[in-house]
Structure 1
Amino acid sequence: MNIEISKTEDIPDTLYSSLLEADPSQEKVNDNIQHSSVFIAKNDDKVLGIILLRERTIFQTEIVNLSVLKKYRGKGIASQLLSFIISWSQANNYKNLYVCTGTTSFEQMYLYQKCGFRFDKIERDYFVDNYQDKIIENKLHLKDRVQLKLDLN
């Protein structure tokens, strides 16, 4: 699928709902939107997905949310968004790109590793300590968060 990715300030409601699927905390999603660069993937006028990129330091940036609308999943859109963000981060002189996800997010961990990310650290009980409600993913209680890192040089 041929997609166009562009930076935006406006997030359509459908994509906002999709961000909440990836992270159920409305407070965290809103904070990430406020402090991130937002990129949207489109095909013609149809919105397909979104990625939020937040600067950690002048040399490091982090993907804080990546989501593709359900009806467009499995079509390589997330891979294209990641490829775009990797190139964008390199062009903007970042040295490292990070992404954090749940240890029960098997598809996401596969995707990130396929794109060159490597495991960097595990934060035990991150989702237990930072989220009010218990999160079940892939029929497992999500407790720990894994950080993956991509060196961009």
Structure 2
Amino acid sequence: MEIMKSDNMSGNEEILTLLLQANPDKEKVMCDYHTSEHYVLKDNEAIKEVLLLKARSPKEVEVLNISIKSKYQNQGLGKILMKHIFNILKKRNYEKVTLGTGNSSINQLAFYQKLFC
């Protein structure tokens, strides 16, 4: 398994499809994509997960989108990627990480709560 920052995912329909799985608003996803850092979790060249990250201030960063392919969910991969991202952010001296999800997204809320408990 490999986590990598990617500066160029243009034209990658697999990435776009995955991001749209987490947020069906294509216009918002494309805007976020073009204004953020991109990280992917891959295994044997297969993309399993993608995350978009954007600095909001010198001390605050926001997770704009995180999406895991359905067949890889509930296997701890989201936690692996988020812990990796938290380590990167700590080294960059960020003090606050924000993320959001709809209040009807019970699975996503549970995932985020597990990260911080």
Mark the structure with the bigger radius of gyration: 1
Q: Which residue number corresponds to residue 46 of structure 1? A: 46
- The aligned residue for residue 29 of structure 1 is 29
Structure 1 counterpart of 2:3, from 2, 5, 17? 5
How many pairs were matched up?
115
Q: TM-score, normalised by structure 2?
A: 0.92
1:10 is displaced (CA, Å) by 3.0
Structure having the higher strand fraction is 1
In structure 2, what is the equivalent of residue 116 of structure 1? 116
State the percentage of identical aligned residues.
Answer: 28
Counterpart secondary structure, 1:89: helix
Q: Residues 94-129 of structure 1: CA distance to partner in whole angstroms, max 9, x if unpaired?
A: 010010001011111111111118xxxxxxxxxxxx
> CA-to-partner distance for each residue in 1:43-76, whole Å, 9 max, x for gaps?
1211111000011111100000000112211211
Say what the alpha-carbon RMSD is for the aligned residues.
1.3
Q: Which amino acid aligns with 1:46?
A: A
SS of corresponding position for 2:54? strand
DSSP 3-state at the match of 2:104? coil
Runs (4+) of structure 1 exceeding 4 A deviation are none
Q: TM-score, normalised by structure 1?
A: 0.71
State the alpha-carbon separation in 2 of the partners of residues 55 and 25 from structure 1: 21
Mark the runs of 5 or more structure 1 residues left unpaired by the alignment: 118-153
Structure 2, unaligned runs of 5 or more? none
Higher helix share: 2
The one-letter code matched in structure 1 to 2:25 is S
Name the SS of the counterpart of 1:50 in structure 2: strand
> 44-53 or 7-16: which moved more?
7-16
SS for the counterpart of 2:75 is coil
- Secondary structure in structure 2 of the residue aligned to 1:66: strand
Which secondary structure does the structure 1 equivalent of 2:100 belong to?
strand
CA apart distance, 1:88: 1.0
> Aligned equivalents of 1:107 and 1:79: distance in 2?
14
C-alpha distance in 1 between matches for 2:107 and 2:77: 14
